[in-house]
Amino acid sequence: MSRDRVILHVDMDAFYAAIEVRENPELAGKPLIIGHRGRRGVVSTCSYEARRFGVRSAMPSVTAERLCPQATWLPGRMDLYVGVSRQIRTLFDDFTPLVEPVSIDEAFLDLTGIAQHLESARQQAEEIKRRIRREHGITASIGVAPNKFLAKVASDLDKPDGLVLIASVDVPRILWPLPIERLWGVGPKTAERLHKRQFHSVGDIVRLPESLLRSCVGASMATHLRALAHGQDDRPVEAGHEAKSISEERTYASDLTDADDIDRALLQRSEGISQELRKQKLVARTLHLKVRTGDFTTWTRSQTLREPTDMTEILVQAARQLFSQRIDLGESGVRLLGLGVSGLEPAAASQTPMQPAPVA
Ligand code: TTP
Ligand code: MG
C-alpha cells in the first residue's frame, strides 16, 4: 500500500514589496506599489496595505494611482529579488532534498518520509516560516496537504503569514465552497463555460451530473476536474527542475518600422523559443517581450498564458497582443526585439509519463 504523501507549498507574501520594506523599514505598514507609474505602466505587486484599496498585480498603474493616490511607488530591483529567492531555496534544502521551485517566490517541498504525517509537517512548516522571517526579514504562507494541488490551495487561504493544513477529510469543508477558478486548469474561458451550466463552486463539480460536466468541457477535462474536486492529484514534486527561462533577442542594423517586418521578427523569435522548448521537452507559462526603440527607450512587458505551452502559434499570438497593446513606439522604429519565456515545466507533467525505452 502506498503511504500518504506530505507536500508543502511555500509562497512568499507580497514578495518584491516585502523585500523593499525590509530594506527600508520606514515603508512598513504603508501602501507600497512596485511598478512604473504612468499611462503604460502596470503593477508588479504591492503591499497588503495597498491591497486594502483594491490595488492588485498586473493592474494598469493609472488605475492603481486612482485607487490609492497616497501609495509610495518603487520601480523594482530584480537582481535583489532573485538573490533573496536563491537564498531561500537553499534554506529549503535543510528540510528535504525534494524541492521543486515553481516561480521566483514559490516552491513545493515533499516531506513524505521526513514528516510522519500532516500534523508533524505543520511543525516543520512553522520552522520554515520562522527561519524565512529571521534570516530574510520577510513572511511566507505555507500550505500542508497530501498533494500539490491541495497544498497550493491551502497556502493561499490565509495569506499573509498563513499556515493552513488540508487533509483529505477536510476536502468537502474547505475545498468545495471555493470558486471553480481555484481548480488547476480552469482559466477564464473554461470558467465562463462552466458558469453558464451552473457550475460555480468546486463542490458543484462533484454534485452535478458528470454527463453535464463532460458535455461542457469534454471527457478528459471532466475526469481531470472531478479528480481535483475530490482533492486528488498525483503529480510528483520534481526536484532539480530549476525554474529557468529561455530567451532570445536581436538587434537590427536599421530600425524596423514596417508592420510586416515587425510581425515577421515576432514570429521568428517565437519559433526560436518554441523550438528550444520542444528540444528541452518543456512548456512555458509566461511570455516576456522586450523592445528597444530607435530612441533607446526599452520596454519590457509580460503576459501569463492561459495554459503552459511550447507552440509557436500561441507564443506569437501573445507576443503580437503584447506588442500592439502594451508598447508605444511613438515616432521610433524597433531597434531590438527580444522574446523570453519563464514558468517552465516538463511538457509531459500533466500526462501519463511514458516508460523509458530499455537500454540495450
Ligand atoms: P505572487 O506570489 O503572485 O505575488 P506576491 O508574492 O507579491 O503576493 P502574494 O502575497 O499574493 O503571494 O508573485 C510573486 C512576485 O512575482 C511578486 O512579488 C511580483 C512578481 N509578479 C509580477 O511581477 N507580476 C505579476 O503579475 C505577478 C502576479 C507577480
Ligand atoms: Mg507570493
Q: Where are the domains of the chain?
A: 176-229, 246-349
Classify domain 176-229 at the CATH superfamily level.
5' to 3' exonuclease, C-terminal subdomain (1.10.150.20)
Query: Which residues is 141 bridged to in the sheet?
Result: 11
How many angstroms is it from 45 CA to the middle of ligand 1? 5
Q: For residues 77-100, give the mean pLDDT.
A: 90
Ligand nearest to the CA of 51: 1
How many angstroms is it from 332 CA to the middle of ligand 1? 32
Cα separations in angstroms, 233 against 37, 62, 178: 41, 40, 17
Cell 470558467, residue located: 191
Active site residues: 106
Nearest to 259 by CA among 329, 310, 309: 329
Percentage of the chain beyond pLDDT 70 is 94
Mean pLDDT value across the chain = 91
Domains 176-229 and 246-349 share a fold: no
CB 169 within 8 A of CB 49: no
The secondary element (H helix, E strand) that includes residue 83 is helix 78-92
Determine whether domain 246-349 maps to CATH 3.40.50.10860.
no
CB 14 within 8 A of CB 139: no
Q: What is the pLDDT at residue 243?
A: 55
Q: What is the pLDDT at residue 359?
A: 43
CB 76 within 8 A of CB 33: no
> Tens digit of pLDDT for each residue in 92-117?
988 998 999 988 899 999 999 889 89
> Tens digit of pLDDT for each residue in 7-32?
999 999 999 999 999 999 999 999 99
Give the three-state DSSP class for 66: helix
Mutation pick for ligand 1 pocket among 63, 105, 159, 300 (CB with most ligand atoms within 8 Å) = 105
CA 157/CA 164 separation, integer angstroms: 7
C-alpha cell at 260: 510586416
How many angstroms is it from 10 CA to the middle of ligand 1? 13
